[in-house]
Structure 1
Amino acid sequence: MGQKCEICGKTVAIGKQVTTRGKAKYLGGVGTKVTGISPRQFRPNLQRIRITDENGTPRRARVCVQCIRSGRVTKRIKN
């Protein structure tokens, strides 16, 4: 299944975490130095909600918050 939105297909993005040390020059220091660069992952904010699909049948889906806020997903209404 994995970290993937079922509506827009948003998945994990790969990036880097940069670790610095030192005091910034504008604060009176000699400047910040990069002490390490580590790989990291940016995961989508997925929520497991009940939705109504195209056929009108309710089901559970893992959907990112941007799809919920933008209205691409219609939440199931309880009767």
Structure 2
Amino acid sequence: MSKICEVCGKKPVCGNKVSHSNKRSSRWWYPNIQSIRVKLPSGQIKRMKVCTRCIKAGKIQKAVS
């Protein structure tokens, strides 16, 4: 499953896991992506993968079932 927000383009970022002894190993941070039904400005209803920040900010309008 793609972990990219279709609204803002937020995607996974890579960094380092740092232990107490300062040993480093690679890790990933993933955005909180939800698959929801969205009502587009044209009136069409489409299922999209959107991050929770975009949902909370009201950047999309949820489709009423």
TM-score above 0.5, yes or no? yes
Structure 2: give runs of 5+ residues left out of the alignment: none
Give the structure 1 partner of residue 28 of structure 2: 41
Q: Please, what TM-score do these two structures have when normalized by structure 2?
A: 0.92
Measure how far apart 1:3 and its partner are: 1.1
TM-score (norm 1): 0.76
Partner of 1:24: none
Could you tell me which residue of structure 2 aligns to residue 10 of structure 1?
Answer: 10
Structure 1 gaps of 5+ residues are 21-32
After TM superposition, where is structure 1 displaced by more than 2 Å over at least 4 residues in a row?
A: none
Which residue number corresponds to residue 48 of structure 2? 61
Larger radius of gyration: 1
Q: How many residues align?
A: 65
Identity, % of aligned positions: 35
